[in-house]
Structure 1
Amino acid sequence: MDDAENGPEQPGKNGPDISEKTQTEPLTSSVEPDLQKKAYADLNDRFLRLAADFENYRKRSERERDLLVTLANERFAVDLLEVLDNLDRALKADDAHLREGIAHIQQLLNVQLQRNGVHPIDSLKKPFNPSEHEAVAHVPSDETAGTIIDEVSRGYRMLDKVIRYAKVAVSKGNQKDQEA
């Protein structure tokens, strides 16, 4: 008879034994999970090391930034101590030289500020600019409307950033011209 007439193959008859296949399969499948576990453990270890390295980098960068800020503040403080010394000398001077001493101190302070990148904002006789000025008064005057006629307190810029807005009085224009 034919194999097709006999029906499905049976173990031990006319074909391979199924039990042989099942004996080899567990060997290959047990090796793959071990490799997967090892690969997972290696990747996890690399991840943990990378995370630790990044955390160390972040902390080191933060310490370096704090140190730079501290050193910059220290340099600025040392520059201002020279101004303070001159104020002490001016207070000890007689009244005749007091004004001259204060003018010298003001000049020294301006030099120290400029050395540290702080520059005054020129405002008088210029048009009002809300990105540099704060209007504290609107005063009638012979100047055109919107022109700064008085500086109550000077504004300052550090590099390109305004660190203190100038407090100014702005002209309303000539009231007689507006009434006519």
Structure 2
Amino acid sequence: MTTKETNRPYIVVDIVDMGYSRVFIRCRNLGHSIATNIKITLDNTFIEQIKIAKVKESIESINNTAPFVLEPSGEKVWEVFLIPRKQLDFFHHVHGENAKYPFKGEYILKKDWKDNENIFKANVLECNLSYNGEYFENFEIDYNNLLDGISADKRLSNDLFSITMGISHIQDKLDGIKTAINGLDQDKKTHRD
């Protein structure tokens, strides 16, 4: 291997869960030198299958991103969709198929998120990449190989936040029970008087 090859930039594109059921397409420079004029082109045939307008716009925005630069160990991410997990139900205090989750200014039904996820599970998104005017790569972005994009400290922070949300939810339930009991006590007191 030549010195040039050893010291070159090396760009990879993948799909990651960055926590709270938020999925991103991530571009990283794993090489030892700066990567310039990075351009990503995603397969339009795949994009056309997407039914949620905001998801389609998010993916198309990657194709429309101006060529950019990444330092070694640098990364650029684009949020592309949400995963309809119980965590979202809990976080937004919504349940069932009528649950709606906020995404880029719109509220989208849980069923639509499930349908969207099925499109990503059933297909591989083809990605063409060019950088530094001399490197050309092809990647398959496969949702079935979704990576965990959360650092250990971020995961701990997310876990603590989830615990806090759980305690808050329990407190809300206890407050409701307390109010109901107080109402019954007031009714009994009124009937005795």
TM-score by length of structure 1 reads 0.28
Structure having the higher helix fraction is: 1
For the pair shown, which has the larger CA radius of gyration, 1 or 2? 1
Output the TM-score relative to the length of structure 2.
0.26
Higher-RCO chain (CA-CA 8 Å, sequence separation at least 6) = 2
